[in-house]
Amino acid sequence: MVLDEQRRARLPLGTRVLPSRVYYGWYVAVACSLLMMVGVGVGYYGLAVFLGPLQDEHGWSNGVVSGATGLYFSLSGITGFVVGPRVDRIGPRPFMLAGSVLLAASISLIGYVEAVWQLYAVYAVLAVAFGLATSVSVNAVMTRWFVAKRAKAMSISSTGISVGGVVLAPVGSKLIDIGGLELATPLMGLLVLAGALPVILLVIVADPKDMGLEPDGLGDGDTTPALRATLSDDVQRRAWTRREAAGTREFWAILVAFAIVLTAQTGFVIHQISFLEERVGSRSTAALALSVTAFGSIVARLVVGTFADRIDKRRLTVVLFLMQAAAVAGIVATENVPLTYALTLVFGFTIGNVYMMMSLLVGETFGMVSFGAVFGVVSMTGQVGSGVGPLAVGLLEDASGGYDVAFVTTAVATVVAAVVIGLGARPAAHPSP
């Protein structure tokens, strides 16, 4: 397929200057990774960094600040639900662009809130921005560019999330130590703009068809190497309505299991620094554990990406869930600091892959054409769970005087999610009628 000059001129600059010997989808994967690094690195890991200082500076309870975090996750999921079908129709780049600008602005305002209602209002805007810029939009792009190599590509694009945790969590914590939230949040907002806008405007292309390319870098006359029936054109190019998807067992197994596990996982992550600060005696040292979690996520995701395209993703998901539950239970059970960090690393091995497996299971079962619509529903439920998790953990901590009961509860919930995904989600071919 040859593009006319007018159409080629409308494509981002990267399509003309980056070496053409490399399939352009890999450039898109790296660009999405950079977007996720600043967007999710600040808009997800940053929330854990802000939790303690917001309590300390304003005298707010754990439950109050955790409630704002819960609102954030719920509204970001609802935003993904609303924009999902529109991403399918008009493409994700406009949503990425608007969301990134709004994300930077709202992050910058966190350090200047004075009342609880202002905190909730800023977190609400931040939630909408996050829902526009990140999960649904980025995963829709990657699902269109890759089919047989989707896990490998998504392992690259989503690694930026963990890199953001490794780099931005300690940076944000150090900035807070130096100048409080008033210094840290505007600078982190600038980081979002500096990282997101160049890759959106100069590199990201929403669909390989826009460049006259095929998924996975296949040329004219080639066919997608469908390792399983779920990767065939009949499945991947079928259009689904949300009602049709909701009529399948696979949809409900994915939705329920990931809602449960993200409730548990996010509840632990957001309170991780506050919990470990009590154990190690320093916020900066505790923030290092968040970086360890993120580093483990990077390593494991890249490793899993090398083989996940060739194995049963449902069984792999069950293993990841059980590993996560065991790591959290172990962290609660031990008082040994080195062992705590080792188990935090194990937890990190699972956290990034949990998000990636949600995207992969939806893409493998429901294809690329309606990915935004279906994933928007699954993501919304997961984000609502992510909102409930920090609030529930905060309330349990307030009631029990410590995190042990709350974190054991999250471990048990994760085991339940493993059972649900193991019994219910068996991706199978749903050919076009």
Give the CATH number, domain containing residue 160.
1.20.1250.20
What mean pLDDT is predicted for residues 339-358? 88
433 domain-assigned: no
Does residue 373 lie in a domain region? yes
Domain of 208 in residue numbering reads as 5-424
Q: What is the pTM of this model?
A: 0.80
pLDDT at 386 (0 to 100): 81
Band (pLDDT 50/70/90 cuts) for residue 230 is low
Q: What is the mean pLDDT of the chain?
A: 86
Q: With left for phi above 0 and alpha for psi between -120 and 50, is residue 137 left, alpha or beta?
A: alpha
Q: For residue 168, tell me if it sits in a domain.
A: yes
Residue 426's pLDDT band (cuts 50, 70, 90): low
- Specify the number of domains making up the chain: 1
- Higher pLDDT: 381 or 229? It is 381
Q: What is the pLDDT of residue 409?
A: 95
pLDDT at 431 over 60: no
Residue 315 lies in a domain: yes
Residue 177 lies in a domain: yes
Return the pLDDT at 221.
Answer: 45
Write the pLDDT tens digit of every residue in 294-321.
778 888 888 998 888 888 888 999 999 9
CA atoms within 13 A on the CB side of 121: 8
DSSP for 286-321 reads HHHHHHHHHHHHHHHHHHHHHHGGGS-HHHHHHHHH
pLDDT of residue 336: 87
How much is the pLDDT for 362?
92
Q: Look at residue 225 in the predicted model and tell me its pLDDT.
A: 47
Nearest partner of 411 among 313, 299, 326, 297, judged by Cα: 326
CA–CA separation, 347 and 119 (whole Å):
30
CA distance 378 to 81: 8
pLDDT at 203: 96
- If one compares 99 and 228, the residue with the highest pLDDT of the two is 99
What value does the mean pLDDT take over residues 12-31?
94
Indicate whether 432 belongs to any domain.
no
pLDDT at 323: 96
- Quick check: 172 and 251 in contact, CB under 8 A? no
Q: In the predicted model, is pLDDT for residue 227 greater than 70? A: no
Is 393 in contact with 270 (CB distance < 8 Å)? yes
Highest-scoring range by mean pLDDT, 3-17, 123-137, 272-286: 123-137
Would 431 be classed as within a structural domain? no
Residue that is written with structure tokens 């905060």 in the block: 394
Is there a domain that residue 21 lies in? yes
pLDDT, residue 224, reads 44
Q: Sign of the C-alpha dihedral, residues 48, 68, 399, 346?
A: negative
Confidence at residue 226, expressed as pLDDT on a 0 to 100 scale? 44
In terms of residues, how long is the chain? Answer: 433
